[in-house]
Amino acid sequence: MEGKVALVTGAARGQGRSHAVRLAQEGADIIAIDICDQIDSVPYGLSSEADLAQTAKLVEAEDRRIVHAVADTRDAGALAAAVDRGVSELGRLDIVLANAGIVSYGGVRDLTAEQWNDMIGTNLTGVFNTARATVEHLIASGGGSFIATSSVYGLKGNGGVAHYTAAKHGVTGLLRAMTHELAPFNIRVNSIHPTTVNTDMIQHDAQYRLFRPDLDNPTAEDAKAGFASLNIMPIPWVETTDITNAVLFLASDKARYITGVALPVDAGSMQI
């Protein structure tokens, strides 16, 4: 990654922070973007500006440069301005990690319009806006790697998260189209499809109650068996580093001819 610049959305914590810090350890400079605000339909706390500042501190501790900005990926103008500022300060763009995402819960009989719109706006339109804001910069750098975080539910269905499943399937389709459009510019486009990852997105009361509705105040320990039922390997979730390892490979020159791949990192969840 030496001499490269990577952009990460949803960089304030969780998978995004893990990706930003690891790429910095490997020599990349970072453009880190996050909403740092709450979305009302999301049943857990989202990131803060303090979280984003901590990511910046961790990158700087690796002796790498970072430009960080608060922007909602649903806001195409704000996102493009943040990207342009980062590229202006760091000089180029080689890697894009469209990682920002949310989760909430409900089947088609229960979802509100607000839940649907927030989910599609963040998890699908946000990836499209990220592509629109970055592709010309990748072309100007002579090519690069565009990686989006989808989900196992971008490749299969599951009840109770209809809007999430629809958005993540949309990401898979969007990237498959982008693969054809951007290959002539030497831009590789791939998606990663995790099972549940040990982050704030799953570690909260609303998620635990889905697995243990019999308990008034279930804990992560109470919900572990439910999480594990989603995988065929005997684990409840994977760690952020497991996703970061896949990101690092797909972003690197070792994957220079890999494009159009939907890569599960799923402990066998796709086999269920």
Q: Is 44 a catalytic residue?
A: no
Order of strands, edge to edge, in the sheet holding 262-265?
Answer: 66-70, 29-34, 5-9, 95-98, 144-149, 187-194, 262-265
Gyration radius of the chain's alpha carbons: 18
CA distance 230 to 240: 17
CA distance 182 to 127: 15
CB-based contacts of 138, cutoff 8 Å, min separation 6: 93, 94, 96, 144, 146, 182, 185, 187
What distances in angstroms separate CA 58 from CA 70, 79, 93, 181, one per listed residue?
17, 23, 20, 35
* DSSP state at residue 253: G
Quote the crossing angle between the two packed helices 240-251 and 14-25, to the nearest 10°: 50
CA distance 242 to 18: 10
Instruction: Name the active-site residue from 44, 105, 164, 208.
Output: 164
Catalytic residues: 164
